[in-house]
Structure 1
Amino acid sequence: MSDNISNTSNPLRRVFAPVRALFVGDASAGILLILVAAAAMLAANSAFSDEYDALINGKFAWYPHPKLSSLHYIVNDGLMTIFFFVVGLEVKREMIQGQLASPAARRLPMLAAAAGMAVPAIVFMLVSGGGELTRGWAIPAATDIAFAMGILGILGSRVPASLRLFLLTVAIVDDIGAVLVIALFYTEIESMTSFLMWMGASGAVLAAMAGLNHKNVSVFWPYILLAVVLWFCVLNTGIHATIAGVLAALTIPLHRKDGNSMLEKLEHDLAPWSAYLIVPVFGFANAGVSLAGMGPEALLAPLPLAIAAGLVVGKQLGIFTTVYIADKTGFAARPANASWAEIWGISILCGIGFTMSLFIGLLAFQDQAMIDSAKIGILAGSAVSAVLGYIVLRLTTSHPDKDWNDQRGERSA
C-alpha cells in the first residue's frame, strides 16, 4: 500500500513542484511583491481609484508632524525605516563575518555593484536628455533583492549556489550605495539652523547608542528606545528619516556576553516582518499609478524610457562587462561553476529595481505627473528585466545544486 501511495505521490509532486516553488523559500517574498504591485495597479485603475487615492494620500484630521500627515508619509518615512534597519543589520553582519568579510570576497561584488549603479545612471542621462529630469539619475541604479531572489527561487536548483551568492552580495552592496545616494543627493535642507540643531541631537543619540555597544549592553530595549529618538531627530534634519534605520543598525552589537549573536537574533526576528509586511505595504502604497488617458506613447516619453533603459540595458551592461574584465585581467575571478551566459542572466536580473527605485523616484520629483511617469518606467523596466533574466537563466542553466536542495529540504522539514 505504501509503495502505491509513494508511486502516486511522486508524479503529483513533480506536477505541483513549480507551483509550490512560488510560495516557499527564496521565491515567496518576490512573488508577494509582484501580486501587491499588480493589486496596486488594479486599484489605481478601477472603479475604486478614488478610494485608493484617499486611503494612501488623504490627509489625517490630526497628525503629530507634517511628514506624518498621511498613510503615504507614515509608510515611506516611518515603516520603511524598519526596512532600512534590517538592511543595515544585514550589511554589518556580512561585512564582519559574512560574504563581504574579506577583501578578496568583496572585491568582485563591490566592483560589479559600483558599475551596476554608474552605468545605468549614465544611460539614464543619455536617454533623458537632461534638464529637470536629471534629478532622477539614481532611479535605475538600484536592485530589488526580494524580486531578484524570487526569480532565482522559481528557477530552483538549476542555478549554481555561487551565482545566487553573487546576486545577493551585489544587491547588498547596491543597497549601501543607494543609502549613500539618498543621504548625499536627496536631502532637502530648509533651515540651516534647524538642520545643525537636529544633526547635533542625532549625533548625540547615535553616540549614546555606540556607547551602549562599547559597554557590551546586551539587552534590546535601550537600543530600540534610542533608535526611535534617533529616527525623530533625523526626520527633522531634512535628511530622509530612513537613514536613521541604517545608522541605528550599525550600533547593534554582533555578540552578547553569553556568546550568542544579538545582531543575528534581531535580524532573524525582523526580516520576515520587513519582507512580508513592510515592503508589500510600501509596494501597495507606491506602485499604483493611473493609466487613464495614457497611450503607448507614455512609455516612450523621455523619463520612463530613460529609467527603463537604465534598468534593462545599463544594469546588465555595467555588471556583466565589469565581471568579464575583472576575470580576464585576473583582478577577481568570476563566480565558480558559472558560465558566461549564466552570469549574463544574473546581470539582467539585477535590473529589477522595484523597492529602492520607487523610493528614490519619490524623493527625486515633487510633481505627481513626473512621479507617475517614473513609476511607469520602473515597473516596465523591472518587468522586462525579470522576464528576460528568467528566460536566459532557464535556457542556460541545467546543473543541479545539491547544497541548495539540502537547504530547501531542511526548510520544509
Structure 2
Amino acid sequence: MKPNSLVRDEELRDQTTAERAGDLVVRPFQLFAQRQASGGLVLLGCAILALAWANSPWASTYEQLLHVPLSIAVGNQVLRLDLLHWINDGLMAIFFFGVGLEIKREFLVGELAERRKAMLPIVAAVGGMVLPALIYAGFNFDGAGAKGWGIPMATDIAFALGALALLGSRIPEALKVFLVALAIVDDLGALLVIAIFYTASIDWRGIAVIVAVLLGLWVANRFGARRAAIYLLLGLGLWAGFFMSGLHATLAGVLTALFVPARVKILPSALPEVIHRGADDIEAQDLDNDSDALHPDRVAIIGALDGSLDAATAPLQRFEHGGQPWVTYAILPIFGLFNAGVAIDAAVLRTLPTAVPLGIMVGLVLGKSLGISLASWLAVKSGLAELPEGSTWRQLIGTAFLAGIGFTMALFISSLAFQDSHFVREAQLAILIGSLLAAAIGISILLTTKATKTPNAQ
C-alpha cells in the first residue's frame, strides 16, 4: 500500500514506462518532504547559502537584490516596497496565517484544548519568554539597543522540530508534542509583543479598514463560507488595513486565520454511509477500462464523492494542510535566504562582546533553557502539570535548549526592533551563533539520554 493512501498496490492499474520513469525521479523528493526534519534542513541550507553569498566576492549583488524596488498599482494608488520588505511584510503574512490556523486548532482539539495538558507548555513558554527578555534587558538597560528585548524570546519551530526528528525514536512522542505546543504559545506571545511594542504610530484610517474587514470575516465565518478565495480576498484587505494603520501587516495573517471555520458540513459519523452509497453507484455502472473512467456518469459520481469529502473536512484543516508545504519549502526558505546574509568581518566580530549581541546570545542559550526548565519544574512540583509521558527531566532540559533556536522569528523581530543597520547586523550574527550553540547543547544532552520506550513512541 502506498504511504498516506487507502489504495493497495494490486488495485492500481499498470503504469506506462514514462510514468514509472517519472516515479523514479519524483519519489525521492516525496520521501524527503515527508520527513519531519526536511523543512528545517531546507531552511538551514538557505541560511548557509545566504551567509556564503553575503561573504563572497558577489556580496554586492546580494545587497542590491535585497533593495530591488517592486510596485503594485491599483488605479492611482501605488504601493512601492523593496524586495526585502515584500518578503518580511508580505510573504511572512502567509506564514503567520499558518501560525494562526495552528494556534486555533491546538486550542480547539490539540494539546492546548485540555487544561491539564495545556498547563505545562503554557507555563514553560511564559518562562521561556520572560527570562530571555529580562537577561537582554539586563545587558542593555537604558542603552541604545534596549528595544531589542523581544529578540531572544522567540523559538523557531521548524529548526527545533527538525533537530528532534534527527534524534528519531530516542525522543518520546509526547516530548515532541510538548515542544510543538510550547512553540505555538511562544508564537502567540511573539505576536502580542509585535502588536503592542513594535508599532511606531497608528493611522486611524487604517484602523477603520481593519474593523470593516474584520466585520466581513465575522460574517463569512458566521454564514459558513468555506471557499479559500473569500478568505484570501478579505485577508488581502485586512493586510492593506494593517499596512495603512502602522501596525505590522503580518498580524493580518493571524487574525484572518482565526475566522476560518473549524466546522464540517457532514458529520464524521455520516461519512461512511455517504462513501458506501457512492461506491455502490460506481459498482452498479460496471465500467472497467481506462476510457470508462471518463464516462460522464462515473465523473459525476466521483465529483459528488469529492464534494462530500470536502464537506466532511473543516476549512481550517484543509487550508492548513494545503498551505503547509508552501510555507515550509518556499516562504520560510526565501525568508531565510534574504535575512540571514550577514557580512562577517573584523568589525562585526568585534561587536560580539558588546551589549546587544551578548543579550541575544545569553538570552537564547541560557535564558530560554533556564526559563523553560525552571517554569516546568515549578508547574510539575506544584501539581499544576505533569511531565510529558515517558519523558525524563534530562530530556526536557535538552528540549528546552532546542527551544533556544530562535532564527526565523528572532530575525524577524530584529528587523522591527532596530532601524540602525549596525544593530541589525550585530543582532543577525548573534542570533545565528546563539541558535547554533543552543542546538548543539540541546542535541548533545538528548544524545546522552537513554531512549525511552512509550506506547506513542515512533
Q: Structure 1 length normalisation: TM-score?
A: 0.89
Q: Aligned partners of 2:445 and 2:330: how far apart in 1? A: 31
Q: Aligned partners of 2:132 and 2:242: how far apart in 1? A: 29
Contact 1:205 1:230 in 2 (8 A): yes
Contact 2:407 2:432 in 1 (8 A): yes
Q: Aligned partners of 1:346 and 1:156: how far apart in 2? A: 14
Higher mean Cα deviation, 321-330 or 304-313? 321-330
Classify 1:295/1:279 alpha carbon distance in 2 versus 1 (closer, same or farther; 3 Å).
closer
Identity %: 40
Contact 1:307 1:378 in 2 (8 A): yes
Q: Aligned partners of 1:235 and 1:260: how far apart in 2? A: 33
Q: Aligned partners of 2:78 and 2:434: how far apart in 1? A: 33
The match for 2:335 among 282, 290, 293 is: 282
Higher mean Cα deviation, 372-381 or 284-293? 284-293
Contact 1:157 1:401 in 2 (8 A): no
Structure 1 partner of 2:151? 139
Q: Structure 2 length normalisation: TM-score?
A: 0.80
Would you say 1:321 and 2:374 are equivalent positions? yes
Would you say 1:53 and 2:63 are equivalent positions? yes
Please give the secondary structure, in 2, of the residue aligned with 1:137: helix
Structure 1 partner of 2:400? 347
Classify 1:23/1:248 alpha carbon distance in 2 versus 1 (closer, same or farther; 3 Å).
closer
Deviation (angstroms), 1:23 = 6.8
Structure 2 partner of 1:234? 242
Unaligned runs of at least 5 residues, structure 1: 1-19, 406-413
Q: What amino acid is aligned across from residue 142 of structure 2 in structure 1?
A: G
Deviation (angstroms), 1:266 = 0.4
Higher mean Cα deviation, 101-110 or 139-148? 101-110
Q: Aligned partners of 2:405 and 2:351: how far apart in 1? A: 20
Structure 2 partner of 1:114? 126
Deviation (angstroms), 1:295 = 6.4
Q: Aligned partners of 1:256 and 1:365: how far apart in 2? A: 44
Classify 1:21/1:167 alpha carbon distance in 2 versus 1 (closer, same or farther; 3 Å).
farther
Structure 1 partner of 2:281? none
Would you say 1:93 and 2:105 are equivalent positions? yes
Please give the secondary structure, in 2, of the residue aligned with 1:188: coil
Contact 1:119 1:310 in 2 (8 A): yes
Deviation (angstroms), 1:331 = 1.5
Q: Aligned partners of 2:374 and 2:69: how far apart in 1? A: 47
Q: Aligned partners of 1:185 and 1:364: how far apart in 2? A: 9
Contact 2:390 2:454 in 1 (8 A): no
Contact 2:389 2:454 in 1 (8 A): no
Unaligned runs of at least 5 residues, structure 2: 1-29, 267-311
Contact 2:217 2:231 in 1 (8 A): yes
Contact 1:88 1:250 in 2 (8 A): yes
Deviation (angstroms), 1:127 = 2.2
Q: Aligned partners of 2:259 and 2:38: how far apart in 1? A: 30
What RMSD, in angstroms, separates the aligned Cα atoms of the two structures? 1.8
1:252-331 matches, within 5 Å, as 252-258=260-266, 259-294=312-347, 296-331=349-384
* CA-to-aligned-CA distance 1:7-54 (integer Å, 9 cap, x gap): xxxxxxxxxxxxx99875211111111111111011100011000111
The match for 1:103 among 87, 91, 115 is: 115
Higher mean Cα deviation, 125-134 or 150-159? 125-134
Q: Aligned partners of 1:23 and 1:45: how far apart in 2? A: 30
Q: What amino acid is aligned across from residue 60 of structure 2 in structure 1?
A: D
The match for 1:41 among 26, 32, 51 is: 51
* CA-to-aligned-CA distance 1:83-134 (integer Å, 9 cap, x gap): 0000000100111111111222211111110111000001111123431211
Contact 2:131 2:371 in 1 (8 A): yes
Please give the secondary structure, in 2, of the residue aligned with 1:138: helix
Count of aligned positions: 381
Structure 2 partner of 1:357? 410
